[in-house]
Amino acid sequence: NVESDNYKVLPGHGLTVAFLDVNGKEIERHDHKTNDYGSFSGSFTAPRDRLMGAMTIAVVGGGSAAPGQTQVSVEEYKRPKFQVSLDAPQAAPKLDAEVLLTGKATAYTGAAVDGAKVRWRVVRQVRYPDWWYWRCWWMPPQPGRSQEIAHGSAVTDAGGSFPVSFVAKPDLSVSAEDEPKFSYSIHADVTDMTGETRSTQRSITVGYTA
């Protein structure tokens, strides 16, 4: 009861739930009855012969129960045609040194995706060792700071491969005596000739000590 601010579950309560399309027209409705805990469940099947977009699930009959509704986004499913991967660096990465990775775009048929446009970026995050928080308990916790340190573009070759190269720069505002580690997240977005885009990422961690 909203007026008296007295809320409670309604066991054994009958209600009707309707599924409405983007134009507010009813697709179908189901009758439900709440269980001992005041809840119920059900499902609807999104139609193929209606305009895609924001459809609505609404309670249209609940007696003394307050009506409720929610919107769901219905879109046409498109099966991906290819996938993207990033291999680990062949050489162990070091701070202030170049890191080389190779990415690859492969169709689900097994064929290489050549001539696709690639955009990549590298985000660095600072991580402190566990003992740092014990030693510096009197200091407020410092969240890992994230910063984009590199970005670039490429085109996949005949084998579907593309290079990613960046320098693993440390965060010089962090003291090396605190033995921080730097996590580098490499994000790559690949767009093929048809405009389909697939993404991937890989993280590597580098510190002042091995």
Closest CA to 97 of 175, 162, 164, 165: 165
- Residue whose entry in the numeric block shows the structure tokens 């701070």: 95
Instruction: Provide the pLDDT confidence category of residue 123 given band limits of 50, 70 and 90.
Output: very high
Instruction: Provide the pLDDT confidence category of residue 159 given band limits of 50, 70 and 90.
Output: very high
> How many alpha carbons fall within 13 Å on the CB side of residue 148?
6
- Residue 43: which residues within 8 A CB-CB, separation 6 or more? none
- Give the count of beta carbons closer than 10 Å to the beta carbon of residue 180: 19
> What pLDDT does residue 144 have?
53
User: CA angle, 6 as apex, 4 and 11 as ends, to 5°?
Assistant: 135
Q: Give the length of the chain.
A: 210
Greater pLDDT, 60 or 97: 97
